[in-house]
Amino acid sequence: MPAPAEATVLPSAREQLHLALGIWMRELDAYPGWKAWRKGRLAITLYDEHIPRTGDPNRPSEFVFSPEIDRQHDLVTQYFGIEQAVFALRDCEYYFRRFPFRGLPVHKHTHLTYMCEMFFNRFYELKERIKRYLNALAKLAPKHRIEIGPFIKRFEKEFDQELRERNGVHHHGRFEDLAIDRIFVSHAVAEQHDAWAMESERYYRQAVREWAERVRRRSAKAE
């Protein structure tokens, strides 16, 4: 009896997009002057202090493409900006899980507050990156069928709580949370009564577990 044929695993839409972007980027290397300019920028990045700035007008700081390629390049750049924002959001989990300031004058409740505020801000960053991508798409393909306004409103509705918290921090004051307040109060009590130290640590560990789980859940939704 012949062995059953293995099922063909088709690449996901995201994987197909990355393959297409890889092809586009390889083709871009054939654009006159682009590859040499990029190597020059890399050299400046690595050895900037050793390269004299001559102010040569024939070596512009930004490469100039044809209008069509420039629109394509902008679209690809904005897409990678979205990817970067998603990765930054997902990485917040590890910032919650680690407290790197032991022995330094940074309290755990303060660090946790800052991490929450960073987490909320990642959603605003992602929204702005999406808007820039869609605007670049409109320039490249004016007849695209994506309704930009309604698309952004759906994003705002899905992540309403995080965006509200971010705006509250930006326009009003520090993020406030009952669990963080509990850590702060128990830490203050522990400075006078050692028996509270373990309780304060328990509150902290519980809070960071919950926030790390929230990051995983919401970043998966954002992807």
Tokens of 213: 């789980």
Return mean pLDDT, the chain. 90
Q: What is the pLDDT of residues 10-33, one digit of tens each?
A: 788 888 999 999 999 999 999 999
What pTM, to 2 d.p., does this model score? 0.85
Q: What is the pLDDT of residues 49-96, one digit of tens each?
A: 655 555 555 555 789 999 999 999 999 999 999 999 999 999 999 999
**Spatial separation of the C-alpha atoms in residues 114 and 119, rounded to whole Å:** 9
**Spatial separation of the C-alpha atoms in residues 214 and 93, rounded to whole Å:** 8
Q: pLDDT category, 4, cuts 50, 70, 90?
A: low
Pick the closest to residue 112 from 219, 164, 184 (CA basis).
184
* Angle (deg, nearest 10), helices 148-158 and 108-140: 160
In the chain the first and final C-alpha atoms are separated, in Å, by 44
